[in-house]
């Protein structure tokens, strides 16, 4: 079995991509999805967020939600809005957000290699979210949400993708957020064989985003394998939908923190307590950290620049992360927040919203203090994954996001 293989993509018919393209299922609430899909009968949100076509208040995990997704997918196929390629292909996929450009490969990635950690993860998953993705895949007999993967340096792959992403695309659409998504088919047999061989030679791939989708694909594969006495390992359920970018092109933004209170401390006592682990300097302007170990803090209308004391930065790949340093030396010992997953006193703000969002959350009185972070790097993520360790919650925020609807992987 290969690390990746081509697949016959289910995709928008010619000229229909702009009507279909949608944000990932997990970045919009049901209410937001209803607004986005209003007046757009072919939006992929009708498949990825099918509750928008059911009465408000419908249980998101009810059987009728998954049935509606399958009904909507069948409707789009019957109407010829979505079509499936006749033979297995690879696809080049380019995303342009402002000045940022990244070009990757859409492929079916091996579940077996995921299971044995050659496709490496760095996050824990939640059973309820895994269950949701399993039920979605089973209802559709397709994987519609791609997993975002990164590949280590591979100049031959970069070269083939650069050549493939020219000429007439299969799909070209600008999404509601202004991000442009373009897909080209890679039909040349020599290029397909070269890509397969180049990925087989790589030591590993790295999950950047999509841990629940990849875990769900593994569970579906195990279930179908057990139910298939003629299982060979070549069935489509042995692979999952992936978009694989070169690691040097992926863009990670800061994932900032806001906290509701100072854990019973006065502001003076709180500021004084920071001196144990940080140097603290007032700032006359918002602080966007410029290096590892530096943090911004917004408290009562004032910005501060915090720097961790050098002797407190360990070598362990998880403990040395900025998100870990803030937790280990401030959030837990001073503010009493030990469980980032469950503590209701803390919330997280993606860097795409900018520092004004931190000021807004604090100035409104909803939050007491905000912390701006230096983004986790891909090198950090890969080091954690290589060590078979787990990153703290909300460590990475990838932008731009992949689009749903441009390519799906049919497994039934």
As averages over each run of 10 residues, the pLDDT of the chain (412 residues) reads 97 97 92 95 98 95 98 98 98 97 98 98 93 98 97 97 96 95 98 98 97 97 97 96 97 96 98 98 98 98 97 97 98 96 94 95 98 97 97 93 97 88
Residue 213 resides in a domain: yes
Residue 341 is predicted with a pLDDT of 87
**What is the residue range of 274's domain?**
255-374
96 lies in the same domain as 227 = yes
Instruction: Enter the tokens of residue 172.
Output: 């070209």
Q: Give Cα separations from 34 to 22, 28, 44, 112 (angstroms).
A: 12, 9, 12, 37
Instruction: Please report the pLDDT score of residue 113 as a whole number.
Output: 98
Give the tens place of pLDDT for each residue, 61-89. 999 999 999 999 999 999 999 999 999 99
pTM reported for the whole predicted model? 0.93
Whole-number pLDDT of residue 51: 97
Examine the domain organization and report whether 278 and 246 are in the same domain: no
Token output for 320: 């040395």
State whether 267 and 201 are in the same domain: no
Distance of alpha carbon 121 from alpha carbon 208, whole angstroms: 8
Residue 104 lies in a domain: yes
Same-domain pairing of 300 and 339? yes
Q: 193: exposed, middle or buried (C-beta count within 10 Å: 0-12, 13-18, 19+)?
A: exposed
Domain count for the chain, please give it. Answer: 2
> Same domain for 183 and 281?
no
218 and 77 housed in the same domain:
yes
Residue 313: predicted pLDDT: 97
* Start-to-end Cα distance in the chain: 19
């Amino acid at each position: 079995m290969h690390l990746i293989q081509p697949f016959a993509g289910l995709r928008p018919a010619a000229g229909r991509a702009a009507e279909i393209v949608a944000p990932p299922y997990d970045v919009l609430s049901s209410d937001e999805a209803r607004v986005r899909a209003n007046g757009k009968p072919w939006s992929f949100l009708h498949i990825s967020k099918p509750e928008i076509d059911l009465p408000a208040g419908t249980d998101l995990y009810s059987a009728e939600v998954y049935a509606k997704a399958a009904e909507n997918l069948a409707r789009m196929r019957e109407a010829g809005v979505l079509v499936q390629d006749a033979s297995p292909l690879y696809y080049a996929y380019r995303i342009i957000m402002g000045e940022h450009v990244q070009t990757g490969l859409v492929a079916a990635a091996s579940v077996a290699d995921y299971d044995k950690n050659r496709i490496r993860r760095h996050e824990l998953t939640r059973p309820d979210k895994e269950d949701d993705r399993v039920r979605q895949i089973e209802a559709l007999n397709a994987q519609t949400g791609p997993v975002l993967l990164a590949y280590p340096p591979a100049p031959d792959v970069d070269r083939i993708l650069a050549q493939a992403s020219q000429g007439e695309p299969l799909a070209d659409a600008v999404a509601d957020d202004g991000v442009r998504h373009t897909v080209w088919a890679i039909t040349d047999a020599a290029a397909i064989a070269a890509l397969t061989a180049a990925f087989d030679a790589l030591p590993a791939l790295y999950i950047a985003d999509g841990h629940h989708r990849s875990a769900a694909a593994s569970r579906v594969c195990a279930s179908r394998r057990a139910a298939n006495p003629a299982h060979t390992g070549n069935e489509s359920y042995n692979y999952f939908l992936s978009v694989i970018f070169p690691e040097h092109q992926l863009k990670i933004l800061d994932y900032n923190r806001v906290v509701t209170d100072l854990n019973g401390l006065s502001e003076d006592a709180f500021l004084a307590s920071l001196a144990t682990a940080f140097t603290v300097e007032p700032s006359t302007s918002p602080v966007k950290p410029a290096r590892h170990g530096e943090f911004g803090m917004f408290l009562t209308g004032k910005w501060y620049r915090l720097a961790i004391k050098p002797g407190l930065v360990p070598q362990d790949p998880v403990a040395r992360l900025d998100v870990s340093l803030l937790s280990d030396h401030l959030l837990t010992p001073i503010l009493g927040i030990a469980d980032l997953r469950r503590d209701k006193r803390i919330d997280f703000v993606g860097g795409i919203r900018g520092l004004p969002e931190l000021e807004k959350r604090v100035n409104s009185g909803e939050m007491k203090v905000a912390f701006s972070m230096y983004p986790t790097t891909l090198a950090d993520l890969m080091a954690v994954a290589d060590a078979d360790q787990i990153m703290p919650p909300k460590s990475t925020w990838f932008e731009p996001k992949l689009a749903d609807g441009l390519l799906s992987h049919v497994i039934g």
